[in-house]
Structure 1
Amino acid sequence: MKIKTKKQLNLPQLIEWAMDNDIKQRVFESNPNFDGVTYKLGFDIGGHLYFEEPLTPTLLFTVEVEEEIDEETKLGLLLDHFINPYGQHYVGNIYQNRSINDVLEENDEMEISTNSIHLFDKETKEFILIWRDGKMVE
């Protein structure tokens, strides 16, 4: 399963990410520095880097990246739906910076049957179904 997330990258990381992802014809603007000033750099039609003023390696850029996740990937905020040993349905265990397998193992220890796991999307403020009935959702 692939999810989109926003990441903060410094200048060398941004350049490496852009080269690895064959970024072309795109301009990136840095996060504002302490004076509120932003800087731009871009990649032309051939994927070559250009910028108009000196840039420091510590500049931060926020980019949206698409990542492949699996049951071992540590994720931000997770919410599960489960059935307790008495057959009652519940929604509401919240996990921070845990993997799907972490959630499943913890629930197994408590004799809880996990039906589904959802990831909280900070941008849309919604939960996204990522795991159900024993497997990742496509």
Structure 2
Amino acid sequence: MYKFTKSVFINRPRQDVFEFLSNPAHMPKWQPALISAEWTSPGTPAIGSTYRTLAKGFGGTAEYLLEITHWDPPNRYSYKSVKIPFPGSIESSYTFASKENGTQGTWEVQITAAGLLKIAESMLGKQAEKLEGGNLDLAKQFLEAG
């Protein structure tokens, strides 16, 4: 299992930050690896809702299907992988706390590889952290500019 945590202060209200980061329609704006993202469940997001992302990587494009495991606007949302392009799983959580006229956003990720990839789990996790680790900084730039 490989874990990493990233945190950033965003000079915007917690509700704005939660709504922006938890909405798949906005995800390609602050996650450069994403080509598209969309809800696959009807209705208002809740625990059990799913969304699909299409990402650049693995020599082409990769599809991810993710399920919401915790939904507490504007404080926290979490998800787990249902379908990913490698054997294993991803669990991730975003938490938001009001702080000094803005929001402290924290992203926690846990990547677990399975099968033959288990040997390369640390390398896979470090690669994901390197590629995705700056995403919250991009979200901060986008939110504070608009």
TM-score, normalising length: structure 1? 0.24
Higher relative contact order (CA 8 A, sep 6+): 2
TM-score, normalising length: structure 2? 0.23
Q: Please identify the structure whose Cα radius of gyration is greater.
A: 1
